Amino acid sequence: MATLRTDRWWLQPVVTASILTAFVVYSTWAAFQNANYYVGAAAHRDLISPFYSPCLAGDCVPGAGHGFAISAWTLSPALIILIFPLGFRLTCYYYRRSYYRAFWWSPPACSVADAHGSYSGESRFPLFFQNAHRYFWYFGLVLNVILTYDAIRAFHQPGIGWGVTVGTIVLTVNAALLWGYSLGCHAGRHICGGSVKSFHQSPLRYKLWKFLTPFNVKHMNFAWTSLIFVAFTDIYVRLVASGAITDYRLF
Amino acid sequence: MSQVTMRVWRGDANGGDFQEFALERQEGEVVLDVIHRIQATEAPDLACRWNCKAGKCGSCAAEINGKPRLMCMTRMDQLPEGPVTVTPMRTFPIIRDLVTDVSFNFAMAERVPALLPPPMPEDGYRMYQEDVERGQEFRKCIECFMCQDVCHVIRDHEENKQHYAGPRFFIRYAELEMHPLDTNDRRDYVREEMGLGYCNITKCCTEVCPEHIKITDNAIIPMKERVVDAHYDPVAWLGRKIRRRTKRTASEASVQPQP
Amino acid sequence: MTDYEHHDYDVLIIGAGGAGLRAAIEAKQRGLSVGIVTKSLLGKAHTVMAEGGMAAAMGNVYPEDNWQVHFRDTMRGGKFLNNYRMAELHAKEAPARVMELEQWGALFDRTKDGKILQRDFGGHRYARLAHVGDRTGLELIRTLQQKVVSMGTDVFMECKVLRLVHDEHGAIAGAVAYWRPTGQFVTFGAKSIILATGGVGKSWKFTSNSWESTGDGHAMALWAGAELIDMEAIQFHPTGMVWPLSVRGLLVTEGVRGDGGVLRNSNGERFMFNYVADMFRAETAESEEEADRWYEDHSAGRRPPELLPRDEVARAINAEVKNGRGSPHGGVFLDIGSRRSAEFIRRRLPSMYHQFMELAGVDITRESMEIGPTCHYIMGGVKVDADTAATRVPGLFAAGEVAGGMHGANRLGGNSLSDLVVFGQRAGLGAAAYLEGGSGPRGFDRGEVEAAIAQATAPFERESGENPYDIQRDLQEMMQANVGIIRNGPEIEEALVALEALSERVRHVAVTGGRAYNPGWNLATDLPSMITVSKCTARGALERRESRGGHTREDFPKADPEFGTFNLAHSVADGRWDGEFTTVRSPLLVMPDELKALLEEAH
């Protein structure tokens, strides 16, 4: 590839492509399982995988639902809701940077030649749909509320009472990382305050904007940690639900 | 002290090649010092553009070991062992040796619709620190044009130079759009005429900025979001319809204030 | 007679720094056709190097500030050698010139109530410098540049003017130049020319000036028949970097001291208290405690001695180093890290922080900077009429550093950026008034064009000869050694002899390669101006047998009242350059009594 760079510029795109591919493969597999996504009262637990929450299908595992269901839906419930976090991340400004580099090689790294002959960026169909990012952000916030509710609910173990298990910690950390990721969203930062002409005349929105800015600075960090952790959370719930491991109770 | 080999690209619009120079290393030197030593001794006609030699004017941008850098701010002792490659910025036409024709940028500067403030009160305008700070970040720009050089939209696609302003001017547009006194609306203009949508936010401009301006996060993305407000967001569009705010066209936005 | 590319303008402006661009805006607003010629790209002029701020008595921080106090500070700083009328106009007009910049997009730092914030600087009684962090010059040039561009002005970039061209009556008719990218010659027909070419500092070895500061405007004005005054008054900025050697001379803004930085010698002593001249004793703190109180509240103490005018501080540093109390690399220590928080330093002095971090590996929030005097500014320059910026050559105007008189024997920090916009605007007005009066050139002296081009191309015709870089280096070392910060008669005389020898060497310069972007050749065409200007400086330094402001003679260490009554003016006898110039005493303008009274008032 045309560059005079002598450093290992290819390392970053290779790592990015590997992690994203691994995540897509795993999440697709997990979404189609339609099983082992919930640990219920039988095990004195209330743990739901983030891939399956809210569980909206008609045949959700008892206890996993959130009081509302689309009874006609009989496929995996993950397929209903995963589209939103997927869309949120797919249109995310940070992920765009990463996959345009790692998969599309446009460009693979700075001052390394673009792999394509012609280029129109995000100005045309279909890529101008990236501009819908803010709508996915709104949905992302709703999901964060639900996952936070799931995490809180997990602290109440059916038949035992309030307590802390490894699973509660996993769900809590997961929700926290997802909040960290969503609060750093560029579209959100714009909507909350960045769009105003004069901060001085909108002091509340200025405060909000200032609150969000540090998250925005760390958006990359939250993007990766929350991505990896959400997969880990699903794995953890899946292992407990399948009986492979027990969710250890701390106190 | 030890020796260093400099591989400097020499030539003009008709082509050229690397020329090697072997020099003694000297303490604390930057790449520009070494280029100057070559000029003063072996190659008095080695062309290189520079002014302040303090990282403030942005004249001496070149590509060092393949990456855009200011020659005056790149210390020799921080480069890896081995020969040091110095080439002109690739995005712009070569004039001679390390000097490129950066007139693309000056042409784009002429197309920026200027600030349109209300008349100034007798004792000056009132603006507040929190409002000027956003623009001040972009006004740190020293116009080294390395962000323009590294941007693959024009680096690898010459044809896009017709309709793409580049990162340096996106921060200029962001500065004007965030200016507390400005009354001009350049959002459609930036989308239609200045090619904001061509940017795929791969952030190389931010990586090379010697002033550490967060070009992508603080200027380009906020500009893209402003364009969404004005053009892509149906809710915002509906809101405007209801409030009967007229939508400006790109040409209407490009108002130059009267001298 | 060869045909060259030719352009005609009402006003041709040479130099695209703050003064040139401000003049262009003014002339353009008056409906004149304007061309700007610059040796570099637009926006790269030396103005970007100005850090601390631009002085204007707006009274935003200290309401008791006004033009009278600013006038008095400027005159005292200049050791009363100033053109009083320039100092007066400058003090009166600077606030309006600063405020109008915001109409064109400038974003200065703000006070709490939304006005332009002002900072303290040496020699200014009140906090008076409008600023943007420590990159005020960049803000000024970018603002003016963007305004000029939005007005659709013709800018000739990387185009070096060689000589001014007269008409048949000795009035200005145009100029001859060459494009650096191609080496092709170009002529300009101009009804008036505004010189705004900046300074001369590149003739010294340790300088904060860029390669451009070769005194082209000074030399071209002299060659064209104008007078140069005060050429011996060179400001050595007290705080330049001293290490690493490759960046020696690089400026460290006075803002460091304005924001609380102090100077210490190798014993850790705040030595400036030992160097307070009688003239400043009444308003300078006597103890460290008093000085430190002043930073918080100017009425709680008197000014710290670190904020004396630059000439005083530079001499003090020089004396400390000479007496063996210097830092390891031959400077003294400038300490702000132990006195202010890291966050404060990074916010107020971001470019200083990066400059030291990246070039010297020094973290100024924790460690002291090593600094020493560096050649920074020439107070002297083309003698102009204060109100119109007109020189004695009809149609020739000058503004900014190339003009003389405004700053007298020593310039206060912050007075330069405001000088640029005040007199840049006045030069634009002056040129417009000159043209409105129906004046204009009759004819265009082609002989001058051909002579200048012949001189410029001669180095290509020599088979072998002097390397221009060698001459430049020898000139810089000689001027640094003989006409530096501390001078004496015999050394200056040696310098004058050496300059004759260097002139002779310039006549034998040979360059290799072609004319397109050839830095060796470009330097060869700069050398004649550098030598001419250095001669004026040396001649002035020899004649001024006293110490005053930026001119210090160890053989005449005191100011002599008699020498305080005149400028030394250099000019060519009949308005045509033949290699010789004369130097005469030119009496100062007589100041009206009401202004004199201001100087005597104890504020």
- CATH label of the domain that carries residue B63: 3.10.20.30
Name the more confident of A222 and C603.
Answer: A222
**ipTM score:** 0.94
Query: Could you tell me if C109 and C52 are in contact, meaning their C-beta atoms sit under 8 angstroms apart?
Result: no
How much is the average pLDDT of A37-49? 94
Which of C29, C41, C99 is the best substitution to test chain B (most B C-beta atoms within 10 A)?
A: C41
* pLDDT tier, C245 (very low <50, low <70, confident <90, very high otherwise): confident
* Partner-chain contact A134 B155, CB within 8 Å: no
Res. C603: pLDDT tops 60 = no
* C50: contact with B, CB 8 A cutoff: no
Give the domain-ending residue among B99, B126, B148.
B99
For residue A165, CA distances in Å to A20, A160, A176, A245 come to 30, 12, 17, 13
**Residue of chain B with shortest Cα separation from C245:** B28
Of C211, C358, C359, nearest to B50 by CB-CB distance is C211
Q: Among A65-79, C182-196, C302-316, which stretch is predicted with the lowest mean pLDDT? A: A65-79
pLDDT value for B251: 47
pLDDT value for C34: 98
Torsion sign, CA atoms C79, C82, C85, C87: negative
Interface chains of chain C (3 or more CB pairs under 8 Å) = B
How much is the average pLDDT of C222-227? 97
How much is the average pLDDT of B204-225? 97
* Partner-chain contact B222 A190, CB within 8 Å: yes
* Partner-chain contact B128 A131, CB within 8 Å: no
Which residues in chain B are contacts of C360 at CB distance < 8 A? 28
How much is the average pLDDT of C570-597? 92
**Residue of chain B with shortest Cα separation from C134:** B140
Give the number of other CB atoms < 10 A from CB of residue A42: 10
Task: Report the mean per-residue pLDDT for chain C.
Answer: 95
* B1: contact with C, CB 8 A cutoff: no
Res. C448: pLDDT tops 90 = yes
pLDDT value for B247: 45
Q: What percentage of chain C reaches a pLDDT higher than 70?
A: 99
Number of domains in chain B: 2
Res. B104: pLDDT tops 70 = yes
In angstroms, what separates the C-alpha of B233 from chain C's closest C-alpha?
A: 30
Question: pLDDT tens across C133-158, in order?
Answer: 989 999 999 999 999 999 999 999 99
Question: SS3 sequence, C205-246?
Answer: CCECCCCCCCCHHHHHHHHHCCCEECCCCEEEEEEEECCCHH
Query: Domain residues for B85?
Result: 3-99
Which residues in chain A are contacts of B217 at CB distance < 8 A? 186, 216-217, 219
* pLDDT tier, C110 (very low <50, low <70, confident <90, very high otherwise): very high
* pLDDT tier, B187 (very low <50, low <70, confident <90, very high otherwise): very high
Which residues in chain A are contacts of B225 at CB distance < 8 A? 134, 186-187, 190-191, 194-195
pLDDT value for B255: 52
Res. B240: pLDDT tops 50 = yes
How many beta-carbon pairs below 8 A join chains A and B? 129
Res. B246: pLDDT tops 60 = no
Rounded distance, CA C285 to CA C307, Å? 10
* pLDDT tier, C101 (very low <50, low <70, confident <90, very high otherwise): very high
Give the domain-ending residue among B76, B99, B122.
B99
Rounded distance, CA B38 to CA B8, Å? 10
Q: Which CATH number fits domain C238-375: 3.90.700.10, 3.40.50.720, 3.40.630.30, 3.40.50.300?
A: 3.90.700.10
Which of B7, B89, B156 is the best substitution to test chain A (most A C-beta atoms within 10 A)?
A: B156
Examine the domain organization and report whether B168 and B93 are in the same domain: no
Rounded distance, CA B177 to CA B187, Å? 8
* B249: contact with C, CB 8 A cutoff: no
Question: pLDDT tens across B73-101, in order?
Answer: 999 999 999 999 999 999 999 999 999 99
pLDDT value for B244: 57
Of B63, B157, B228, nearest to A118 by CB-CB distance is B157
* A132: contact with B, CB 8 A cutoff: yes
Res. C72: pLDDT tops 70 = yes
In angstroms, what separates the C-alpha of B231 from chain A's closest C-alpha?
A: 10
Which of B46, B143, B148, B258 is the best substitution to test chain C (most C C-beta atoms within 10 A)?
A: B143
* Partner-chain contact B126 C103, CB within 8 Å: no
Q: Is B107 within a domain?
A: yes
**Residue of chain B with shortest Cα separation from C251:** B54
Examine the domain organization and report whether B15 and B54 are in the same domain: yes
Res. B2: pLDDT tops 90 = no
pLDDT value for C463: 85
User: Which tokens belong to A48?
Assistant: 């739901």
* Partner-chain contact C518 B45, CB within 8 Å: yes
Which of B200, B216, B240 is the best substitution to test chain A (most A C-beta atoms within 10 A)?
A: B200
**Residue of chain C with shortest Cα separation from B72:** C359
Q: Which residue type sits at C552?
A: T
* B176: contact with A, CB 8 A cutoff: no
Q: Enumerate long-range contacts of B154-158, CB under 8 Å, 24 or more apart.
A: B154/B91, B154/B104, B155/A111, B155/A114, B155/B90, B155/B91, B156/A107, B156/A113, B156/A114, B156/A119, B157/A114, B157/A118, B157/A119
In angstroms, what separates the C-alpha of B155 from chain C's closest C-alpha?
A: 21
* C546: contact with B, CB 8 A cutoff: no
Give the domain-ending residue among B48, B68, B99.
B99
pLDDT value for B66: 96
Res. C593: pLDDT tops 80 = yes
How much is the average pLDDT of A192-196? 95
| Exposure letters C395-417 (e unless 16+ CB within 10 A, then b) | bbbbbbbbbbbbbbbbbbbbbbb
SS3 content of chain A, % helix, strand, coil (to 5): 55, 10, 35
How much is the average pLDDT of A56-79? 86
* Chain B from 76 to 135: CB within 8 A of any A CB: 80, 82, 85, 87, 90, 128, 130-131, 134
* pLDDT tier, C501 (very low <50, low <70, confident <90, very high otherwise): very high
Instruction: Show which residues of C are catalytic.
Output: 237, 257
Give the CB-side neighbour count of residue A245, counting CA atoms within 13 A: 12
* Partner-chain contact B96 C517, CB within 8 Å: yes
Res. C567: pLDDT tops 80 = yes
Rounded distance, CA C238 to CA C319, Å? 12
Which residues in chain C are contacts of B109 at CB distance < 8 A? 146, 149
Task: Report the mean per-residue pLDDT for chain A.
Answer: 94
pLDDT value for B254: 47
Rounded distance, CA A79 to CA A28, Å? 9
In angstroms, what separates the C-alpha of B112 from chain A's closest C-alpha?
A: 19
Task: Report the mean per-residue pLDDT for chain B.
Answer: 92
Of B58, B114, B126, nearest to C150 by CB-CB distance is B114
Q: Which fold has domain C5-201+392-436?
A: FAD/NAD(P)-binding domain (3.50.50)
Examine the domain organization and report whether B56 and B83 are in the same domain: yes
* Partner-chain contact B197 A96, CB within 8 Å: no
Query: What's the pTM?
Result: 0.94
In angstroms, what separates the C-alpha of B200 from chain A's closest C-alpha?
A: 6
* pLDDT tier, C464 (very low <50, low <70, confident <90, very high otherwise): confident
* A101: contact with B, CB 8 A cutoff: yes
How much is the average pLDDT of C416-433? 98
Examine the domain organization and report whether B157 and B173 are in the same domain: yes
* Partner-chain contact A107 B156, CB within 8 Å: yes
Point out which residues pair with C551 in neighbouring strands. Answer: C548
CATH number of the CATH domain containing B138: 1.10.1060.10
Q: Is B154 within a domain?
A: yes
Which residues in chain A are contacts of B203 at CB distance < 8 A? 97
How much is the average pLDDT of C485-494? 96
* B235: contact with C, CB 8 A cutoff: no
Q: Which helix (H) or strand (E) holds A106?
A: none
Point out which residues pair with C228 in neighbouring strands. Answer: C382, C570
Name the more confident of C245 and C90.
Answer: C90
The arrangement of strands across the sheet holding C566-571 comes to C403-404, C381-383, C228-229, C566-571, C582-587
Examine the domain organization and report whether B192 and B74 are in the same domain: no
| Radius of gyration over every alpha carbon of chain A, rounded to an integer in angstroms | 21
Q: List the domain boundaries for chain C.
A: 5-201+392-436, 238-375
Examine the domain organization and report whether B78 and B124 are in the same domain: no
